[in-house]
Amino acid sequence: MAKPISIEVWNPSGKHRVVSTKSMPGTRWIRLLTDQDCRVEICTEKKTILSVDDILALIGDRCDGVIGQLTEDWGEVLFSALRRAGGTAFSNMAVGYNNVDVTAANKYGVAVGNTPGVLTETTAELAASLSLAAARRIVEADQFMRAGLYDGWLPHLFVGNLLKGQTVGVIGAGRIGSAYARMMIEGFKMNLIYYDLYQATRLEKFVTAYGQFLKANGEQPVTWKRAATMEDVLREADVISLHPVLDKTTYHLINTQRLSIMKKEAILINASRGPVIDEAALVEHLKANPMFRVGLDVFEDEPFMKPGLAEQKNAVVVPHIASASKWTREGMATLAALNVLGKIKGYPIWSNPNSVEPFLDENSPPPAACPSIVNAKQLGLPVSKL
């Protein structure tokens, strides 16, 4: 028999039972569910990552839908249990769903939701923050001050890299990659080189227009170039930010060989997915090249770092906080809740999951639709005409 799991209950008499495996920011998501006759149960266990057995206990004998987290292993066991309990809806509170076996969800007829469209700017801002922190050695300098080691200004003390006029490289120029590029170009007047399977026309037009603006005002114009290969970006850029999807073609995209062709004082940023970097190879590269710097928000074996990474002063590491702005996290919670609610209510699927502003407007009711269901086509779910 599964052990009891501590929970917080909202609207105990609600008709539809919805479980959230974690407390989530804000209260709007709770209100949206309870207003639609849902009983909401929020797990309050003091565990960072719930086990499959923990989640089985939460699902119990009757459950209409679950809001889960990307740290959880959603596969055959959980989807079969959810279906036996009468559930047909699951949503990650995340845009990614590498933790979800979508094939298993399809087998049991469970809709899988995610939360795109709300993370773009905040993730790009974190990547830009890591870029600046690494370039100017901010974390090292902060630790130096806190240790009481500062006894006066010195010409060589924490000399870092100037970003203005340098080249920023973007690998994966989708929504987040393009937003990051715009921040670095407009903020620091950096030139752009990018690699993507698809042409980033809007980004190119932005850089061209901004370059013309600078020239008209007597400043050096910025430039852009679409690289023929990823290696071209690695060789030419002073700061490289990774924004690819994670699949078998991008696993260990950055490895020993590709690290070796980067500039000795280059800065590498990853706020996408941890396994796109061979982290053990990165540790060795950081050791051998003290002026090479890295900013990481994600890790290959998260939540763990590869041995030696934590000791490298030329590494800035943060605990997967790219989406951790109040507005974004509350928006993610809202979208996840509405994915589950929409499936329970039989609503159609929103036609553009990257255009979710109508769901986030607190001054009006959200559309009667599921914001984003990744397996909608496989399940034959209808698309909204709204």
| Unique residue bearing structure tokens 């990853």 | 270
Question: Does residue 302 have an active-site annotation?
Answer: yes
Question: Does residue 76 have an active-site annotation?
Answer: no
Question: Does residue 320 have an active-site annotation?
Answer: yes
* Residue of 39, 273, 285, 329 marked catalytic: 273
Can you read off the two tokens belonging to residue 17? 């039972």
CA-CA distance, 112 to 105, in Å (whole number)?
7
209 in Cβ contact with 182 (< 8 Å): no
Give the 3-state secondary structure of the chain. CCCCCCEEEECCCCCEEEEECCCCCCCHHHHHHHCCCEEEEEECCCCCCCCHHHHHHHHCCCCCEEEECCCCCECHHHHHHHHHCCCCEEEECCCCCCCECHHHHHHCCCEEECCCCCCHHHHHHHHHHHHHHHHCCHHHHHHHHHCCCCCCCCCCCCCCCCCCCCEEEEECCCHHHHHHHHHHHHHHCCEEEEECCCCCHHHHHHHHHHHHHHHHCCCCCCCEEECCCHHHHHHHCCEEEECCCCCCCCCCCECHHHHHCCCCCCEEEECCCHHHECHHHHHHHHHHCCCCEEEECCCCECCECCCCCCCCCCEEECCCCCCCCHHHHHHHHHHHHHHHHHHHHCCCECCCCCCCHHHHCCCCCCCCCECCECCHHHHCCCECCC
Which residues does the annotation mark as catalytic? Answer: 273, 302, 320
